[in-house]
Chains A and B, each alone.
Chain A
Amino acid sequence: MAYTIGEKVATREAYGKALVEFGNNENIVVLDADLSKSTKTDGFKKTYPERFINMGIAEGNMMATAAGLATCGKTVFASSFAMFAAGRAFEQIRNSIAYPKLNVKIGATHAGISVGEDGASHQCLEDIGIMRTIPNMIILNPADAVESRLAVKAAIEHNGPVYLRFGRLAVPTIFGDDYKFEIGKGVMLEDGTDVTIVATGLMVPAALDAKKILAEEGISARVVNIHTIKPIDRDIIAKAAKETGALVTAEEHNIIGGLGSAVAEVLAEECPVPLKRVGTQDVFGRSGKPAALLEMYGLDAKTIAEKAKEAIAKKNA
């Protein structure tokens, strides 16, 4: 399944296609809660109807049923919007999936404010924080279609619970066919010496743009992609702190509980340096066009560049 660099593809689309691509594995069962057209599990449903189960609008039951299937040897994908997967079904995920460490992959789409017009009720900005506190849980937040495909493959190969976070919005493909993906390994996309931008999900292309803005001002920024929020790659973060002396995190999530918090924890324990966090600032979203919302809430290259300069200024403060 090839994607062209620059091609705009929603990560949920790539998720749906990857389920079809890897779905010939007879153990895979896909569950959805009446949202298959939106979560894009409908492709799997068409190709492997006997292994697709529509659960109706009942996310709690879906997660615990997924757990039951997994006890019988199935590799289960359970899909819904991030809000209803991580939010509504938190406790089923915690007690029935993560606690017994069952082989369930939570395919959570429509994460973040880029959901757009549906508004605050559907813009999940808390899911990383919620999932991060659960033992045994792995959290993958891919940046583009290529990474989404590889994340699904890695999730299938991993025996245990995985939370996969996908977006509704079409985002540019930034990785080529030779891109390597390993759970728990951050990826340095661009080297730099003055500051490191640690980004995840659709903020990765924004981070690459921010590097260009900073370069025009003579600032050299390193860009690190953290696709695995948990377990987080402590080494790449500590190394960036030692070598660049200041960090900015960028995520489409509340700055509380998500990537920014995870990075802050690593810095505090390994190598304290100035840190600024780009993300939603502990507020709910609202209806609007995705691009306008991302700008309104400061989830863009311009804000990352500003915060990078603030972090650099604190180095010698």
Chain B
Amino acid sequence: MNAERIKELQIAASDIRKMALEAVYSAGAGHPGGSLSVADILAYLYLEEMNVDPKDPKNPDRDRFVLSKGHCSPALYGALAEKGFIPKEDIKGFRNINSYLQGHPDMKGVPGVDMSTGSLGQGISAACGMAKAAKLDNKDYRVYTVLGDGEIEEGQVWEAAMFAAHYQLDNLTAFLDFNGLQIDGDITKVMNPCPIDEKFKAFNWNVITIDAHNFEEIEKAVNEAKTVKGKPTIIIAKSTKGKGVSFMEGQAAWHGAAPNQEQYEQAIAELNDYIASVGGAK
């Protein structure tokens, strides 16, 4: 990936962050912290990696994406809008009774959403089912999913982890958005799931650890996963909750709270400054 493309993705990820914040601000509710931490991963997958086409969202040969941490729908909707699956102006309808953009992703209502999620631990299982379906049908599409770090406290994640390794689902790549915070605080204080890498290694996964906000590292990890045979890959992506908005960064309080008008305006201004700093238009 050349420097120009990295800039483009950085700008696109900032646009996704802005849309995620617009969604949460408009709704007066939602999950900004994890949406901001996962934005770069989604930007890379939707804009650089995945074979998906907004004009043909149900193509049976497309790559699949499951947002296992479904509460970060604001970022997913931002990515879908950036890719062209949904109009950007629909974002402000988030969580509104008249909108199709529910609090958590609804595959029946939102073009480009491959699985309804929101109940933690279930998305990765559904992703396993999609990856297994590809194996049954001898298709070469890949399946991507993003787990939250708090989410892996759910036992079902480990049932799915066992399944994916047992059936050698090397067409499955999971990201772990490792921002270290869940609703009640530091994940190591609430219910410590660490060491996460060693746990997945013990479950026979290929494990890669990266910086969630570095596109070169994301690209390298995604490409490595495609070369690994016989094992699913988890990319443990060390991220900053609230990334890109100074007063949200590293604050568990922004897991599920909406900014007020002043905060929203400041957040957008910071993201615009960032876009300008990498050479984009405000």
Q: How far is B158's CA from A11's CA once the two chains are assembled, in angstroms?
A: 34
Q: Does A170 contact B (CB under 8 A)?
A: no
**Chain A's nearest CB lies how many Å from the CB of B107?**
5
Scan A68-94; emit 1 where CB is below 8 A from any B CB, else 0: 111111100000000000000001100
Report the stretch among B17-25, B86-94, B132-140, B190-198 that lies at the interface: B132-140
Report the stretch among B47-55, B113-121, B256-264 that lies at the interface: B113-121
Report yes or no: B108 in contact with A51, Cβ–Cβ below 8 A.
Answer: no
Q: How far is B115's CA from A95's CA once the two chains are assembled, in angstroms?
A: 10
Report yes or no: B116 in contact with A65, Cβ–Cβ below 8 A.
Answer: no
Q: How far is B131's CA from A71's CA once the two chains are assembled, in angstroms?
A: 11
Residues of A close to B162: CB separation below 8 A:
56, 58
Q: Does B207 contact A (CB under 8 A)?
A: no
Report yes or no: A68 in contact with B108, Cβ–Cβ below 8 A.
Answer: no
Report yes or no: A74 in contact with B133, Cβ–Cβ below 8 A.
Answer: yes
**Chain A's nearest CB lies how many Å from the CB of B180?**
26
Q: Give the residue among B108, B129, B133 with the most A Cβ atoms within 10 A.
A: B129
Report yes or no: B115 in contact with A71, Cβ–Cβ below 8 A.
Answer: yes
Q: Out of B130, B156, B166, name the residue touching A71 (CB < 8 Å).
A: B130
The DSSP consensus for interface residues of chain B is: helix
Report yes or no: B159 in contact with A68, Cβ–Cβ below 8 A.
Answer: no
Report yes or no: A53 in contact with B159, Cβ–Cβ below 8 A.
Answer: no
Q: Out of B64, B108, B119, B163, name the residue touching A65 (CB < 8 Å).
A: B163
Contacting A at CB under 8 A, from B148-182, are 155-156, 159-160, 162-163, 166-167
Q: Out of B66, B108, B132, B134, name the residue touching A101 (CB < 8 Å).
A: B108
Q: How far is B132's CA from A95's CA once the two chains are assembled, in angstroms?
A: 20
Report yes or no: B133 in contact with A60, Cβ–Cβ below 8 A.
Answer: no
Instruction: Considering the complex, give the chain B residue whose CB is closest to the CB of A66.
Output: B129
* A–B complex contacts, Cβ < 8 Å, 22 sampled: A56-B163, A58-B162, A60-B155, A61-B160, A63-B125, A64-B122, A64-B123, A64-B129, A64-B160, A65-B126, A68-B115, A68-B125, A68-B131, A68-B132, A70-B129, A72-B60, A72-B134, A74-B133, A92-B119, A95-B116, A96-B122, A100-B106
Q: Which residues of A contact B (CB under 8 A)?
A: 29, 50-51, 53, 55-56, 58, 60-61, 63-74, 91-92, 95-96, 99-101
A64-B156, A65-B160, A67-B115 known; 12 new pairs, CB 8 Å cut-off, are A56-B162, A60-B121, A60-B156, A64-B122, A67-B125, A68-B133, A70-B129, A71-B126, A72-B60, A72-B137, A92-B119, A96-B125
